[in-house]
Amino acid sequence: MNSIDIFTDSLNRKTFFSLGVFLIFVFLVDSAIAQNFTSKQNGRWNQNSTWNSAHNCTQNVSAGIPPISKSWGCGISVVINHNVEFPGNANDFGNGVFNGITIKSGASLNFTGNVTFSGGGSVPTFVLESGATMNVAGTFTVNRPVRIVIPANAVVTIRNLVVGDNQPEITVQDGGQLIVLETTTLRSRSTLNVQGRLTTNNLTFTSGGTLNANSNSATIEVANDLTVTNGNLNMSLQSSILVNGNTNAGQSGTISLTQSARAEFQGQVTIPNGATIRTANTASFLFGSNMDMSGGGRLEFRNNTEGVIQGNVIMPNGSIRMYNSSELHINGRLNATNGGSVETNNSSSVNICDYPNSTQVNEYHITVKNNSFYGQGCFALPVVWGAISGQFDAFKKQTTIHWETTKEWETSHFEVERSLNGIDGYVVVGETAAVGFSDLTTSYRLEDQNLPTHKGAIFYRIKQIDMDGTFAYSDTFSVIIDNTAGNENGLKWVAYPNPTTGDNFNIKLTNNASIGSGPITARIISKGNADTVEANDLATLSLLIGQQISQAPKGVCVIEVVQGNEVTHLKILKH
């Protein structure tokens, strides 16, 4: 190669390198180009008056309202600061260059129809801030690798939820709530993480999928049936699940309870061939009815775990394996035939109340090893909870609490307790006598007629008290109320700034009403305890409440203001 060729080759390489740097720079600049839509008032998604728009691009700029799907041009980002309603169905939500959506604290996004996350392009972000709400009147289908997080004090309510097979992931953080009014469906390669509260009518794993309840505060309540078909339900730490209907571990599904997790399955539990229910490390469960292993599944206990089966165990096939000081209590009988087998190891035990009519220890279906036990034994729970629910009557301005027990032993009475945040501040709203001793389903009812002025969720729990004074609680459940309508002539308070640190905090009346004579009392309801403050004027009251807010933990606080017979609750966000 002569000197000219060497120079030309060098120049070409330099030119190519410079061009490459330029192309990379252009790509990076293009990726930052976007159009931002921000709500400026309450309204509908499809109204120009709802939005402000700003952009730094010129290609295919969207006018007026934010598109939910866009194939090219300016990337779309949406911020919800108010109450925004999306009318009709939202198909292909987040498709193309839709970059993401953020629902800010205190704001809400309400879909009147179905919502479907599908299509291609970059994966959009979906952010709810603490205190945000989202409601979907139809089916919410997530079939893209979207990550959706429901943080503390945020509530998402959906008619039907479908978590698809394209690796989406939904996380309900501690203090967050996901409420599914009908069916939650998990498909293959989907993930649902529950660290807060999941309430659903039915829970179904159709072709796989994973649900992880992995925090001390994780609570899952299924009003009807649980079906785990080829999926994995993993409960750990002090998480809990209540299934009021039947449970089927599916074709090759796995239900795993570890550490101090607890499960209560009220209806029949079916463990067919290929399915497994396993417990380990001090976990516990209660089956409120029969267990059927006709298909040949596996029930496994390890490391000081405990299970109670209120009905019978039917085992024409299948296996029960006990290890390491674990205990199984069967309040009915156990019948193992054909390939059914029970094996106890390492100081574990199977205690059968109706042992005379059960498979005996000397039959080949039963193997007892290493100082373990299989035989006669009964176990009495003080109470076995059945269905629990609450309903708000808008006309009477009261809630009616219903609950059932399927078994009671030495139960004295029940107390119903109410809280505004489900964490602390519980007050007793009423009590009722118990039947005391029963092996039948018993129904109870109590009316809470003294509701606070409040709009949104309130929380209840039922305290069961034995004749010897010991007690236990039911799971906590929520009721959505609106006890604000009809008070147009009452005191209307507003608190600001919101969010706040407590500095320069103010509380005042918005309808020119007089505060009258006599003191005003207030307190902060949050995760921390706060003393009640009292003042005769709003300036002093604002100062005292601000001091309490500054000492409260970050998150949503509720200010309870009392004057005379009127009680008002205001939500604020503590920075």
Amino acid at 2: N
Task: Give a yes or no: residue 329 inside a domain.
Answer: yes
Task: Give a yes or no: residue 148 inside a domain.
Answer: yes
- Return the pLDDT at 17: 37
Which residue from 354, 348, 346, 347 is spatially nearest to 330, judged by alpha carbons?
354
Residue 404: which CATH number? 2.60.40.10
- Return the pLDDT at 14: 40
At CA 568, angle to CA 543 and CA 548, rounded to 5? Answer: 30
Same domain? For 263 and 359 the reply is yes
Of the listed ranges 221-235, 415-429, 527-541, the one predicted with least confidence: 527-541
Answer whether residue 548 shows pLDDT above 90.
no
State the average pLDDT for the chain. 85
Answer whether residue 15 shows pLDDT above 60.
no
Domain that holds residue 354: 233-379
Task: Give a yes or no: residue 18 inside a domain.
Answer: no
Tokens of 377: 């034994």
- Return the pLDDT at 77: 93
| pLDDT over 70 percentage in the chain | 89
Which residue from 97, 102, 185, 190 is spatially nearest to 144, judged by alpha carbons?
190
Same domain? For 352 and 259 the reply is yes
Which residue from 218, 311, 310 is spatially nearest to 257, judged by alpha carbons?
218
Task: Give a yes or no: residue 501 inside a domain.
Answer: yes
- Return the pLDDT at 417: 93
Relative to beta strand 411-419, strand 455-466 is antiparallel
pLDDT band for 481, please (50, 70, 90 cuts): confident
Same domain? For 180 and 249 the reply is no
For residue 180, the cross-strand partners are 158, 200
Residue 518: which CATH number? 2.60.40
Task: Give a yes or no: residue 24 inside a domain.
Answer: no
- Return the pLDDT at 1: 44
Same domain? For 97 and 216 the reply is yes
Task: Look up the pTM and report it.
Answer: 0.66
| Mean pLDDT, residues 265-280 taken together | 93
Same domain? For 245 and 369 the reply is yes
Name the residue with higher pLDDT: 352 or 17. Answer: 352
Answer whether residue 119 shows pLDDT above 90.
no
Task: Give a yes or no: residue 92 inside a domain.
Answer: yes
Same domain? For 247 and 177 the reply is no
- Per the structure, how many domains does the chain have? 4
- Contacts within 8 Å (CB) and 24+ apart, 265-272: 265/226, 266/242, 266/385, 266/386, 266/387, 266/406, 267/225, 267/243, 268/292, 268/311, 270/246, 270/294, 270/295, 271/295, 271/297, 271/298, 271/299, 271/318, 272/248, 272/296, 272/297
- Return the pLDDT at 239: 92
What is the DSSP-derived secondary structure letter of residue 547? H
Asked if residue 75 lies in contact with residue 54, where contact means CB atoms within 8 angstroms, the answer is no
Asked if residue 115 lies in contact with residue 138, where contact means CB atoms within 8 angstroms, the answer is yes
pLDDT for 166-222, tens place per residue? 899 999 999 999 999 999 999 999 999 999 999 999 999 988 899 999 999 899 999
The helix (run of H) or strand (run of E) holding residue 37 is strand 34-39
Query: Which of 195, 224, 253 lies at the terminal end of a domain, its last residue?
Result: 224
Relative to beta strand 427-433, strand 411-419 is antiparallel
Count of alpha carbons within 13 angstroms of residue 231, beta-carbon side: 29
Same domain? For 558 and 464 the reply is no
Same domain? For 448 and 502 the reply is no
- Return the pLDDT at 395: 81
Same domain? For 159 and 174 the reply is yes
Q: Residue 157, Cα to own-chain centre: how many angstroms? A: 10
Tokens of 247: 């449970």
pLDDT band for 271, please (50, 70, 90 cuts): very high
Query: Which of 189, 224, 259 lies at the terminal end of a domain, its last residue?
Result: 224
Asked if residue 408 lies in contact with residue 438, where contact means CB atoms within 8 angstroms, the answer is yes
Task: Give a yes or no: residue 313 inside a domain.
Answer: yes
- Return the pLDDT at 528: 54
Same domain? For 282 and 306 the reply is yes
Query: Which of 316, 351, 379 lies at the terminal end of a domain, its last residue?
Result: 379
Same domain? For 328 and 237 the reply is yes
- Return the pLDDT at 249: 92
Highest mean pLDDT among 184-193, 516-525, 548-557: 184-193
Task: Give a yes or no: residue 565 inside a domain.
Answer: yes
Same domain? For 317 and 334 the reply is yes
